[in-house]
Structure 1
Amino acid sequence: MKFQRSTLILMTLALGLAGFVYVFEIRGKTQQEEIQAKQQKIFSFGKDEIQSFTVTTPQQIITVERVTNADELKKSPWKITTPTQFLANPASVDYLLMELLKNQSIPSDPHSGIQKLTVSPDKIKDYGLDTVTDKIDIKLKNNTTYQLRLGKKDFQGKSLYAQINSPQPTPKDITVLVISDEILSAMNRSLEDWKLPPETPKVPQQSQTQTQTPNPSATPK
């Protein structure tokens, strides 16, 4: 059956319109959601891109790097290099990186997630970011470096004011982030908590077959 020329033109236009809707509506919406998800993260790079990081608190400075030694990799992918040389606890490292890279928005709460404030440099002290004692320095595998500086808690006491020093030039107005304070729990760990726990020695199982000791007082009948 042959289609009329007008029918073919209409079919072509319909297919073109469907493609237009997909590109600009469906695909555009997906890309917008991806952008919004990245905006709800402190950092948008991936965990596998991180080469090392340094956690600075009033109590201590801890530097953790990726392990390259094959034998050490069998135990942990991370090692502490400052203030001591020791394999790192993967659970402690993963907890910190999760807080740095997770999406902080809650679907049920439209007001949740990371907020951004634009302030002038002379107002930075109001957020506790003029003299910072808690910070994280991150080095990626491509040698790009980032720094997260933590300031005061907000008026509700559940979030932190923070600032990112990225490779881009700092503008006249400074962007202050309002992030979850859960990152403090991931940072404020003792050195022992950062270390890989020692392996528990295996206790050999006792033989289930035991030799029965004859009773010397027993007399045969």
Structure 2
Amino acid sequence: MKFQRSTLILMSLALGLAGFVYVFEIQGKTQQQEIQAKQQQIFSFGKDEIQSFTVTTPQQTITVERVTNADELKQSPWKIIAPTPFLANPASVDYLLMELLKNQSIPSDPNSGIQKLTVSLDKLKDYGLDTVTDKIEVKLKNNTTYQLRFGKKDFRGESLYAQINSPQPSAKEVTVLVISGDILSAMNRPLEEWKLPPEPPEQPKQTPTPTPSATP
């Protein structure tokens, strides 16, 4: 069965259009999902972009940076440089960075995730952001620096008011984030928990006791 040339052209156009629509819809949906995911993150940069970070609490200030020494890398990719030099516990570091970079939305709860409030500068004290004692400063490999400042918990006690960077004195309005309070447990830990645990000492090899031979 032979098709007319015009029919073949129309079929080709239809197939091409269907393929274009399919690709466009798939790519558009994927891009939209990526945008929505980034909107539910405090920061959109990745863990591999971080060069160092400093955690400040009322109890202590700890600075951690990436390890470059090959021998140290065998034990941990991070090291504490203040208040005392020491290799860092990767589990403690990963837990903090996970909380800092995770998607905070919960699929089963449409009201979950990061909320953004626009408030006047003189209202920051209502959110505990006028005099900040808890903060995290992150420095990326490209030397860009971000600071996350923490205020009070919300009325439910589950979420936390926070702000990225200090507000400009000339600003009339600022953005306040409402984020998961889980990050506090990741940053408020004693110095010893930030340190790499010492390796357990090797147990001396025991010489097996010879089995006495049976008397004939």
Q: What is the TM-score with the length of structure 2 in the denominator? A: 0.91
Identity of counterpart residues, as a percentage? 84
TM superposition shift of 1:127: 0.9
Q: Give the aligned partner of residue 136 of structure 1.
A: 136
Which residues of structure 1 form unaligned runs of 5+? 213-219
TM superposition shift of 1:19: 3.2
Report the residue type matching 1:158 in the other structure: E
Which residues of structure 2 form unaligned runs of 5+? none
TM superposition shift of 1:20: 3.4
C-alpha contact (below 8 Å) 2:148/2:163 kept by paired residues: yes
Q: Give the aligned partner of residue 116 of structure 2.
A: 116
Secondary structure, in 3 states, of the residue corresponding to 1:157?
coil
Superposition RMSD in Å:
2.1
Q: Give the aligned partner of residue 17 of structure 1.
A: 17
Measure, in 1, the Cα distance between the counterparts of 2:124 and 2:161.
Answer: 10
Q: What is the TM-score with the length of structure 1 in the denominator? A: 0.89
TM superposition shift of 1:2: 4.1
Residue 103 in 1 paired to residue 103 in 2? Answer: yes
Secondary structure, in 3 states, of the residue corresponding to 2:178?
strand
Q: Which has the larger radius of gyration?
A: 1
Measure, in 2, the Cα distance between the counterparts of 1:32 and 1:121.
Answer: 33
Measure, in 1, the Cα distance between the counterparts of 2:14 and 2:58.
Answer: 65
Any residues of structure 2 matched to 1:1-221 within 5 Å, and which? Answer: 2-165=2-165, 172-210=172-210
TM superposition shift of 1:5: 2.5
Number of aligned positions between the proteins = 212
TM superposition shift of 1:199: 1.0
Report the residue type matching 2:177 in the other structure: L
- Does 35-44 or 118-127 show the bigger shift? 118-127
Flag the 1:186–1:24 CA change in 2: closer, same or farther, 3 A: same
CA deviation profile, 1:135-166 (whole Å, cap 9, x unmatched): 00000001011010011001110000011129
Measure, in 2, the Cα distance between the counterparts of 1:13 and 1:172.
Answer: 56
TM superposition shift of 1:211: 6.7
Q: Give the aligned partner of residue 217 of structure 1.
A: none
CA deviation profile, 1:71-116 (whole Å, cap 9, x unmatched): 1111111000010011000010000000001111111111111111
CA deviation profile, 1:24-82 (whole Å, cap 9, x unmatched): 32211110000000111111111111000000000000000101111111111100001
Measure, in 2, the Cα distance between the counterparts of 1:3 and 1:131.
Answer: 78
TM superposition shift of 1:202: 0.9
Report the residue type matching 1:37 in the other structure: A
